[in-house]
Amino acid sequence: MIESLLVANRGEIACRVFATARRMGIATVAVYSEADANANHVRMADSAWLIGPAAARESYLSAERILDAARASGAQAIHPGYGFLSENAEFAEAVVAAGLIWVGPPPAAIRAMGRKDAAKILMAQAGVPVTPGYLGEVQDEAALADEAARIGYPVLIKAVAGGGGKGMRRVDAASDFAAALASARREAASAFGDERVLLETYVARPRHIEVQVFADAHGNAVHLFERDCSLQRRHQKVIEESPAPGLDEATRTAVCEAAVRAARAVDYVGAGTVEFIADASEGLRADRIWFMEMNTRLQVEHPVTEAITGLDLVEWQLRVASGEPLPLAQESITRRGHAVEARLYAENPATGFLPSVGRFDHLLLPDTVRVDSGVSEGGEVTSFYDPMIAKLIAHAATREAALAELADACAGVECWPVRTNAGFLTRLLEHPDFIAGQVDTGFIEARLEALTTPAPPSDAALAAAGGAAASLEARNADPASPWIALSGFRTNAEPQAEIRLFHAGAAVVAPLNETAAPRSVLAAGDSAVVVFEGGEALVFAATSPAWDVAEVVGGDGRLTAPLPGKVVAVSAAPGQSLKRGETVLVLEAMKMEHALTAPFDGVLESISVKAGDQVTEGAVLANLAPRA
């Protein structure tokens, strides 16, 4: 058995791996960048080693620095987590060449599945059904446009080296193809160092079904059932669950057996996920489910599988990497109940899900469900890494019970001043169509306005805000003033019964009711309070709507950088007429592209940046004027 383990990653997944390693009596080694010096994973490990500056390319993506840390620490093995170098065959080879144990699949298997086009050809040869499309080597724009026309719109552009939705674009018409191709190539080159793409027919009502597989070096390969990851936004998974709603046993068996064939075709060893796209327009059928890609690593959503099987997948990884056979044969792997996971992100649905960076002055995560997290109160979300705060996982006897339990947990999240998607997740988990199992990858987009619009504050929230605001006003007043204790002073006056506040840009009247049900409330500066309800941080200001979230997105016509990043495209020019929602420029930050759009119909007065410019948070990038 491995005796000491370095995790070449950070945050939640590093903490997750350390927890299992500690339970197994394995010494743990963390690596960290300068931005992560005080991070949870650093404190959790037995030892920790600085590997470079904040930028990932100079730290977590530096194979040389990670190997140096492994040698210096005396680590026996390296676990890559997910992301960063986890699917880099050259890194895996370097680990083995250094005489260390690689907790992952063989480099040859990573390489075989790393290019989506080559992987699909290999899968077809192994009898695994693949999605129709274009997998050729010709990559010039005209040839790809011709292939898209042959396939028929809508088509899907996908990075051949990619994953996680990066470098993926849906194109509905030939006139949109060139712009979508350019954007997909930019994102693919940035994320994977490879701008090549493939094309697929776009499935009208797609479901994303994936199968957890495991194999060892003794010729054994098994599946641990499927997960449904259909609830996505911009091709990024939001909710994952198992079993997949509406999947009958015959179809389940066919898909899971195809996944095992896929693993065997590349002599796989370790944990992997075989992903399928399903055409759900006529329900889930085995003849309408196709191989999409294989992720040669542990997935973010692996706790869902752990919940329904009662197994520790990290322990399985460590045992297989140590040369042991799989702990269980296929017939001994069973499932029970239903599990569902929600990804809690530092992002603001009110501003188009732009990442929210900053310090967690207040962070309360639920204790009613499993929580996998790499941050805590006092920690920080920076612009350098993925903005995930935590994964919340519920497990119950039925799907309905699991969804309700997770919805309650998301509703109980409290975070300030960093914004989160907890309210959005709550509304999503409580949506009647989702509860009914009517899911596909377009579910969120089709209901986006309702899912991103918080309900009005409840009476209890208003009462809590009123009481807190009145107390704050009293604390900030001149203590020597004779008017402090006087409420609307006049002879025989009744005590003040309400207070006027501003919320979401509008005036509200909050009662001063001392018997109101308690709510968690924070002071936000000298003139505002925050009340937590339904996963939302509701801000009430005493004097003006200055805290209105919408103003961050340019209500006055200014488009400002929501976080530090690089301008990768400018789509409009001064003097150009724009409609609300049209893209002005594209900013790359936190490994994602973010389109900054016109906040209203108008004319672009000025733009102060060009493609390639680095910008700081809050910098004014463009100005839009209303049409005359």
Residue type at 161 in one-letter notation: A
Distance CA 264, CA 220 (A): 9
Distance CA 571, CA 561 (A): 16
Task: Calculate the CA dihedral of residues 112, 118, 121, 123 and round it to 10 degrees.
Answer: 30
- DSSP string covering 361-372, please? SEEE--SSSEEE
Q: Which residues contact 328 (CB under 8 A, 6 or more apart)?
A: 222, 311
Give how far the C-alpha of residue 51 lies from the chain's centroid of Cα atoms, to the nearest Å: 25
Distance CA 226, CA 284 (A): 13
Nearest residue to 427 via CA among 446, 442, 408: 408
Distance CA 495, CA 46 (A): 59
Distance CA 468, CA 528 (A): 9
Place of tokens 């672009």: 604
Estimate the crossing angle of helix 63-73 against helix 89-97, to 10 degrees: 30
Distance CA 507, CA 567 (A): 37
Distance CA 211, CA 619 (A): 44
Within 10 A of 373 (CB to CB), how many other CB atoms are there?
19
Catalytic residue set: 297
What sign results for the dihedral spanned by CA atoms 138, 144, 150, 153? Answer: positive
Q: Which residues contact 2 (CB under 8 A, 6 or more apart)?
A: 26, 76, 77, 101, 103, 318, 321, 322
